[in-house]
Structure 1
Amino acid sequence: MLGSAGSEEPLMLPMEAIELDAFRHHYESNTFWCGTLLGGCGGQLTTKLYTDRACHFAHHPDPDGLPHVCGRRARGVNSADHLYVRSAAAAWLAGRGEEAIFEYAGSAEAPFGSVVDIRWPHGALRVHLDQAVPPAWDQEGHEPVLGVSVPVDRDTLIDRWYVHRIRLDSVGTARRVRIGTEAFGRDTEWFTLDDCDMTERGLSTPAVQRIIEARSAAAPAKWRPGQSTDTAQDTRARELLRKLLYARRTVSIALAESVCREMAELAGVSPRLQGQLDAARRSGLLWIEKEAEARRALFASLEKAVTEKQAGKVKKLLRQVKTAAKDTCSDEESRVIGAADGCLTDIAAARSTYLDTLLDDLDQLPPDPDPNDLRIMVRELLRAASEAGSIGPHRRAKVEAWRDRARRVVGPFQTGQGTRLPQLHRQVTRKRWLERRCPRCGAKGGQGCAVDDMPGEMRSLPHDERLQPIIDERKARRPWRVYEVTCPDCGQEPEQRCTTLGGPHRSRVELAKEYTRLKKAHP
């Protein structure tokens, strides 16, 4: 304490040496005491400066030279909070022209300073700094203010609307008082004492004003079945909002445009619903523009696919277009749809004609055809039948008959190494064969091969006539292997080993190198 043992002005000593020097200089004309209001002995104190540990107050030794024994129990930074509360409250009330009386309750159960009673002519507060003394909510003349460690139950918060809290924050060598307001369902809001005031309800903070206004507001009227406060215009506005939502869910541009027009013409709607209508109409117009752009792009893609006669793409896009145009369709869109239908019809007719041509070619085969030729033609027949779709029972029976005959002659398709057709497309990369012109269908470099007798229909694989020259050139460039030439010394034929035990003759190796240098064609 400052000045005397009974002083009500607490001090907190800085713990750093450099700060203690400034503290000593500031209070060089004062004395420090172990305050009785803190539960101390009332003896005089001195300051102890350390550079290797915290600085602190210390008692003067007893007259006999022995260390002084003090009975003070609480020595923490919050042990003087009741005095800081007194100092802050006195200054706050003095600014309002009030002079207060302060009492610090203490007993065996409640330590000294647990409760601070503040009374002045126009009010009274009881500050509970800890849980030692339970707050009395119904006691007149004392409004409880609770420390942060003092609990309060839910029912009390609901019944009283709010309770006040108090906390002290360390700022330098002092403690600053903050007042909080806690309410049920709200976070505690904290304020300085300057933000607080005394009203007819007692201590008041800005949060108290908001809580009272919220609790005092008139409750909204309860809705009862069969009771409607909407006007005819409001009812129609709600219907339009639902119709616009339905139009967007079903992707109906025509319905959305109709609803937006009616929204713009509807008058006499309540302000709240009018705001919803305006927002929904703006959003709807943006959606209509976006969907219209997507629709134009869809029809453009379909028209391009029709021009390129891409049957698969036309069929896929046509389904999407018809779904998008189920409500309304412009003349231009109808033209594109008609062109797509005609394109699919033409392609189907061409495929059917091609299938008939293949069947006629097979009928012209001799009774004992070449197995490889038969296999190739039947494979093409099966592919054409698959692409033609519905071919009727008569042609289906003929296709199955040729398939069964081919199986009897050459065995099951793609079984056995000896009967497997050469897959030339697996031996040449796409980049390489796209550089060549196809001698069979006339496809230029960079273009895929076309289906025979079906203009505009592209094959998934190139013709073998386009691939074989590339493979032949590759073979010509391949180095000759030793056992691909006849040995000049022992006369062993290609693929036969030389008669020597140590490997091929030197002359055979040199001959293979010579063939490679001369780029002689392989057999």
Structure 2
Amino acid sequence: MRRDKRQIQTAVLGSADSEEPLVLPLEAIELDAFRSFHEHDSFWCGLLLGGCGGRLTTKLYTDRVCHFAHLPGPDGQPHICGRRARSVSSADHLYVKSAATTWLRNRGMHADFDFAHPDGTSLGSVIDIQLAHKRLRVHLDQGVAPEWDSPDEPVLGISVPVDQDTLIKRWYVHRIRLDSEGTSRRVRIGTEAFARPTEWFSLEECEVTERGLSTPAVERIVQARSTPEPARWTPGMKRTTSPQDERAQELMLRLLYARRTESPDLTATVCREITELSGVSPQLQQRLNAAHHSASLWAQKEIESRRTLMSLLDQAVGARKVSQMQSLIKQAKKATKVDRTKQEEEAIRAAADCLAAEISATVDRVNVLLGELSRFPASGDPDSLMRRTQQISQDVDELARVGKGVTHQRAQLALWEERVKSLLVLPSGAPAPGPLHELVGRGYWTVKMCPLCGADHGQKCVILDGPRTGQLRETPHADRLRLFLGEIEERQTEDAGGTTTVWQAYDVTCPVCQKGPGAWCRALGRPHSLRYKLAADFTQQRKPNSAKQNRQPNIEQAARSATEL
């Protein structure tokens, strides 16, 4: 079998038969935070992804997208996998099952799921969701054609075509799409009808009725198709309807328009005019009364909902809760888009101004705290440093919830959290190592993009504070070099087939000053050259490196405790 060189973007967590999918970030700076978050997790080429069930690792690159890769086989040769789907969408069927399970559980419902794949169809092309009285068949791609005469209700992926005759006959069809959000995928349900654009909704806005899956758009379509057409007058023919009946027909059409545009004020106005109308024929009066009763209940419910929504918005503004303000502002704009009052307009504008001010203040606070951390001594109190990083973490999480791009700040925070860990594990009494740039060749100083000052590949770092702010640094930031060293150590581990046989200087006893494994040499800033040579000899001899697992200070930890910053 030839080796498939397509890049793997999805995996499952924990085991080969896991149903918990995730997507790998494409950018190197995002992958650093991803690795830190999943430090104790394992990644697998899942069986439910059509994979081989093998263990995966993450590959970090700066000149191309990052991706998963199989660990080498026991013989050290590249692993061969016959998995067909490897793109970001290759785990969509698992995301659909997970989202649908949570959605139904919140409504007190249960469903059975089956990943049907007829002969020649890839796994995940079709998902069958068996509800209590209905079965949904989700077509994520064109592998299986929908059966329109089947009792099952089709839900079509965005690439699955449907002809106009089917739309006219069925009134509408449901569609599904998945949008990437970080390392996950979010499910969206759409409703497509003839001569109407597809309307998209979140799962939380959808319901399960006797007809099956229902969205707000379905309710409007069904109501529009179920309302009888008003009587038309033909020129040259005698009119058979009274003026009162014509007025009743007109009011019902206006009531339908008010419901379609979701305007409770217009609905209430039309309902008031209906109550003032008299002299309508008995048959039409019955229909008019039913429409009035239904519309009155809806209008009252919408008015109360809008009052509650605006009250919650005022409370969120008063409490300065950023994520709640953003969510409630969106809901308020949607609920009042047709007949927004002046008072509602002012409340929404004030909330938007408050939200912008809070986000700006939070961003400034994060940047100030990160600046303070950059001046924090490497030998400082770990508990104090931990409290600072926790405060920044809370602010960064809050910014992420409102969609504020904080990738750069999150990367810096991850590096400082690693530095805290290193301060907690350094042996007591161990002397601080020399600057990290003395351990890395000058030609490798600008290989990685700097997570602190943002200097790109090939560019020098800049000074972040003080009178020389913005000027080029003579040496790079230590965290920039730490990224490079971490990638080198990872590649050495992968090259060894998962068994680390690479020796570093601090893994061996120094033949000059007799310092044991993990202890720093008496030489200024770096180990003695003979210690390097001894470590290289052990590596060449493939001598088992059991000390590497137990040693505490290594080059990485030397970087974390460096006083470069």
TM over 0.5: no
Could you say which structure has the greater relative contact order, defined with CA pairs below 8 angstroms and 6 or more residues apart?
2
TM-score, scaled relative to structure 2: 0.40
